[in-house]
Structure 1
């Protein structure tokens, strides 16, 4: 059971490793270690064990002791529902929060300027209209309204509130990180100007407050990716410790893969991987919002992510061969 759950987590979160690597490479070695130590503890015990307990307690208005008792005894019920069923009932709020958060990540990437374009016929026109300020937030709000209307029957208020919280969380964490990161870049530019012949780095590795908020951003990103895995895991096992252990092993593997991608410079060698990962994020955002009303099999979610990553990797390899031939 634990092995199956670990494979489930890895397959669902493979694209997460690539996206995390794009953020992690901007952090200095100290914060990369924090991501692998403190971050793993948060991912395993926080998101895979404590977070579901918190969600069930808040959404079902159950006391902490009762929630823990339900989680430890899978056949026990409260108001006619088991722990797994209470977690399933909280899906509208979970899916709306995670869906809007992931959608904002996708929109900011696809509407922003990029060094390379993968699907030029889509990305170039979107880059032009992306110059409109706050367009991504407007699109996310319209999407949230449509999702509550067509997929949130009976849960409209919950979906709207959770989606707005997801949007606010993204804007707050990403905005604060950007402010501190831009301040650091200005300081480094001044230092380089004062030191003749100094060589700058191609990627500014942030520290301090900027790295802290990037770390928070990574943790919320991991949370958004883990929602479908946590809920889907109950279809495999009802044992909360098996679920935590299995998903935790998968989470540790994904984080190790993230650091490997950063240290090997894989994203620099295969330039379209970042694009594929963000398209996978966009697809997962849509799947989460649709799952408010309809059940989407976990295998579909995992295969879509792997398909985008695989296509992006293949395109990158073709591009590299062409560049070698021209040289």
Structure 2
């Protein structure tokens, strides 16, 4: 199972490293390898959260996630996204932006750095909404019970997560984003930029997540009716067709996963500029990491890891909340990407350790329960 799931990632690693050597020699190979490790370490929590969504999709859409989804992740976010940033902020057409990235790498890096407030606000709001919707939801399994129980009760208030996200955005725009800056030679207010980008991230989450949730609910209702119809058809000897709605539901969940991956990749793309400003090497290294993250997502689903280690999903969402806060703080202050990666690793490692302890406690309690049951039998 492990080799089969990661086979594509191994092939992409070999191809990516080989292309790196052909493009820039052995030094480029080292840069590509470092970028791949950076992407994997920063996006491990992404794999856990993605697995929670992907397990609701059938094998066909899981393959789409690993094929077409990888192309979108690599060429869309890891290659085209930095170019689009420069094109928008510097008011250049795409061709000139690509030419600038290949010929004047220092200027290109500076333009991307100037665009960081908008990137951080958009991604921060999107990720913050994911965390808030998770933490305010009533659920049977709770990890940090003293925190999650009262928050789940508060979550019964309509639109609470949206209100909190907007408050965070307003506070950020009037604190971290109070200094004016230059964009493309035009004096611009960074607070206004952050506010608009944050609202765009919030709207994106509500549209994509809302459509996904709508079709998922429709799918559940349709599956219940379909099951009743199949039972009735079995009694009469007739056959029924499969649920047609599954395709639409899976499609919008796929879109949700792509936007989620895009938000997670913001810090990886920005952090990559601390290592290199060559967009070719950046695309190769981050692309290899993206393939590994997606293969890990599918592996978690097929192995049922989230069912065995029930707190992993909690830890990943806490890591999402931490990343959202970090992105908003980086609008004004620089935070090393190593710290960003360690926060996610620590939270997920803690949740994994808690899951192991829970499983051990349940296993130890089973013999006592069986003995009590035998004693109670007359």
* TM class, shorter-length: over 0.9
2:224 to 181, 186, 189: 189
1:283 to 315, 318, 322: 322
Alignment of 1:89-168 (within 5 A): 89-153=114-178, 154=180, 155-168=190-203
| Alpha carbons of structure 1 residues 149 and 115: separation in structure 2 relative to 1, 3 Å | same
Q: Counterparts of 2:81 and 2:334 in 1: how far apart (Å)?
A: 22
Q: Counterparts of 1:170 and 1:65 in 2: how far apart (Å)?
A: 30
Task: Give the TM-score normalised by structure 1.
Answer: 0.94
The answer as to whether partners of 1:10 and 1:253 remain within 8 angstroms in 2 is yes
The answer as to whether partners of 1:74 and 1:238 remain within 8 angstroms in 2 is no
Task: Give the TM-score normalised by structure 2.
Answer: 0.82
Q: In the alignment, what sits opposite 2:360?
A: 321
1:47 to 54, 62, 77: 77
Q: In the alignment, what sits opposite 1:239?
A: 278
Q: Counterparts of 1:233 and 1:126 in 2: how far apart (Å)?
A: 36
Q: Counterparts of 2:159 and 2:56 in 1: how far apart (Å)?
A: 24
Q: In the alignment, what sits opposite 2:186?
A: none
Q: Counterparts of 1:221 and 1:19 in 2: how far apart (Å)?
A: 9
1:230 to 254, 260, 269: 269
Q: Counterparts of 2:89 and 2:260 in 1: how far apart (Å)?
A: 22
Q: In the alignment, what sits opposite 1:87?
A: 112
Is residue 18 of structure 1 aligned with residue 48 of structure 2? Answer: yes
> Which digits, 9 at most, give the CA deviation of each residue in 1:70-92, with x for residues without a partner?
1112446xxxxx10110010001
Alpha-carbon shift at residue 292 of structure 1 (Å): 0.5
Work out the number of aligned pairs and report it.
Answer: 317
Q: Counterparts of 2:269 and 2:167 in 1: how far apart (Å)?
A: 28
Which has more radius of gyration?
A: 2
Q: Structure 1 segments of 4 or more deviating over 3 A?
A: 194-198
Q: In the alignment, what sits opposite 2:89?
A: 59
2:333 to 294, 308, 312: 294
Q: In the alignment, what sits opposite 1:212?
A: 251
2:298 to 249, 259, 279: 259
Is residue 2 of structure 1 aligned with residue 32 of structure 2? Answer: yes
Unaligned runs of 5+ in 2: 1-30, 181-189, 235-242, 367-378
Counterpart secondary structure, 1:113: coil
Unaligned runs of 5+ in 1: 77-81, 199-203
Counterpart secondary structure, 1:207: helix
